[in-house]
Amino acid sequence: MTVAHQGLTGLLDTEALRKDFPILERTLHDGKKLVYLDNAATSQTPRQVIDVLSEYYEQHNANVHRGVHVLAEEATALYEGARDKVAEFINAPSRDEVIFTKNASESLNLVANMLGWADEPYRVDHETEIVITEMEHHSNIVPWQLLSQRTGAKLKWFGLTDDGRLDLSNIDEVITEKTKIVSFVLVSNILGTVNPVEAIVRRAQEVGALVLIDASQAAPHMPLDVQALQADFVAFTGHKMCGPTGIGVLWGRQELLEDLPPFLGGGEMIETVSMHSSTYAPAPHKFEAGTPPVAQAVGLGAAVDYLTSIGMDKIAQHEHAITEYAVKRFLEVPDLKIIGPATAEERGAAISFTLGDIHPHDVGQVLDEQGIAVRVGHHCARPVCLRYGIPATTRASFYLYSTPGEIDTLVEGLEHVRNFFG
């Protein structure tokens, strides 16, 4: 560790930990070491997860909940075992509250469709209101726009303050007796903001509205306790937390999952089927029509084991230290403006910024030539760019294997970008 990094506390032993991630050894563009700072888009996969995936396909691959043969029973046990692991990871009161989906988008869409087809008291119709926020990922905007268009329900949202936080000053006007559902992001993927869950949940509970929390950028980075959140639904995805792509999670309170109707119909989700009608399996299977992503669920289970073995509180501490260091270094770069909270308090490990008039695409391209991977664009949160009057941002996002040295490399890279276009 160099002199500049002394005084940073709470860091994980990244030297040892990075050996778990084969891809971090990659070099590109004539021998430049990969500096992977696009973790909010997807995280890298540790050997421990890759091995479990390989072993699944080499030893246990079968369809689940159907056959009586050995492989089918092993695959089923592994799949359901992954559900147990996820349930424990998020402190769910019951494993039956964990629904596997293909990603967080599907989880969010699933809730929107449950509510669209539900009977009273959950039904969303033209006399009711839906509440979201201006900092949502498109996956937590568009499903609600669709539901609003189909049912006539009014779509409302919380705006943003200039420093990248939710403006809750009008909370009593936004969430009203007509509100059926409040859906918001726990940690913003573009601003990095950690939102004040308690204040929103309290108001939603006052008016009897359901609460859905998009925890896609929270589950990988901090301890997630669905009971402490007091939400009704929590959505997140596997590939941002060291798991494979193609697996997401929707947690929902058991009584709601019992009451609410299924969305996708098919195999696996039924009890009995006749040509006239069907009865449904109990949750979670009621919401898992068709062959599920078995290997991916098993991989997510392995990712949960991996993260737990390191400790989510330690990961959160590490990322906080890295983020604090990054904010400090970024503020030294001329013309760099952080879009979102310009502090490490109540913020996650994703930092968006602009660099003078240089377009983020150009920033990203010149950084890429130095082996540095960042995300550029509107990050599927275009309303945030509109709110701050910018076409796009460059985003650096960190994870448990990110190092202060990588922040230094990024800052040097940004100097190079400025010289190139200056």
What residues line the site for another protein (CB under 8 A)?
A: 29-30, 359-362, 365-366, 369, 376-378, 382, 385, 391-392, 420-421
Catalytic residue of the set 380, 407, 410, 414: 380
Beta carbon nearer to another protein, 197 or 392: 392
Q: 175-194 b/e with 16+ CB inside 10 Å = b? A: bbeebbbbbbbbbbbbbbbb
Measured from the CB of residue 181, what is the shortest distance to another protein in angstroms? 28
Beta carbon nearer to another protein, 238 or 364: 364
Measured from the CB of residue 377, what is the shortest distance to another protein in angstroms? 5
Measured from the CB of residue 386, what is the shortest distance to another protein in angstroms? 10
Beta carbon nearer to another protein, 305 or 362: 362
Parallel/antiparallel/unpaired status of strands 393-397 and 350-355? antiparallel
Residue type at 355 in one-letter notation: L
Measured from the CB of residue 30, what is the shortest distance to another protein in angstroms? 8
Measured from the CB of residue 144, what is the shortest distance to another protein in angstroms? 20
Residue type at 192 in one-letter notation: G
Residues ≥6 apart with Cβ < 8 Å to 58: none
Distance CA 199, CA 182 (A): 12
Beta carbon nearer to another protein, 160 or 384: 384
User: Do 391 and 359 touch, CB atoms closer than 8 A?
Assistant: yes
Indicate the angle between helix axes 404-421 and 360-368, nearest 10 degrees.
120
Beta-bridge partner residues of 181: 130, 210
Indicate the angle between helix axes 312-330 and 404-421, nearest 10 degrees.
30
**Is 242 assigned a catalytic role?**
no
User: Do 140 and 185 touch, CB atoms closer than 8 A?
Assistant: yes
Beta carbon nearer to another protein, 37 or 231: 37
- State the catalytic residues: 380
